[in-house]
Amino acid sequence: MLHTVNKSPLDRNTLESCIQHALKGSAVLLIEDGVYGAMQGTQKSPMVESAMKEVSFYVIGPDLKARGIDASRVIDGIDIIDYSGFVDLVAKYDKTQSWL
């Protein structure tokens, strides 16, 4: 299953709740304000880094750029993708759950 998260983990528990319900082998895609969850060195980065042992993480590049987050500030191992990559992920996983 593909999970999408569009909230900053510093503002809401959405990403935390998503991670708690993401099974091994599933994927989490950070979109919109969710991309703040991909940043290194935040209070919430350790939560993401720990989850990455079992779950693949992706982030929308255009959303990062819009917010002035350079790729060098993204946690190592998170794949930066565009909307075409987003479509591929939705196709690859059998269903998508949007954590709103």
Asked if 4 and 90 touch (Cβ cutoff 8 Å), the reply is: no
Minimum CB distance to other proteins, residue 4 (Å): 8
Under the criterion CB under 8 A, does residue 47 sit at the interface with other proteins? no
Contact partners, residue 67, CB within 8 Å, separation at least 6: 35, 36
SS3 20: helix
DSSP-derived secondary structure letter, 1: -
**Is residue 98 close enough to count as binding other proteins by CB under 8 A?**
yes
Smallest gap from residue 76 Cβ to other proteins (A): 25
Beta strands in 19-99, from DSSP E residues, in sequence order: 27-30, 56-60, 79-81, 96-99
Binding of other proteins at residue 43 (CB under 8 A)? Answer: no
Considering only 32, 45, 47, 52, the residue that binds other proteins (CB under 8 A) is 32
User: CB-wise, 40 or 89, nearer to other proteins?
Assistant: 89
Residue 97 interacting with other proteins (CB under 8 A): yes
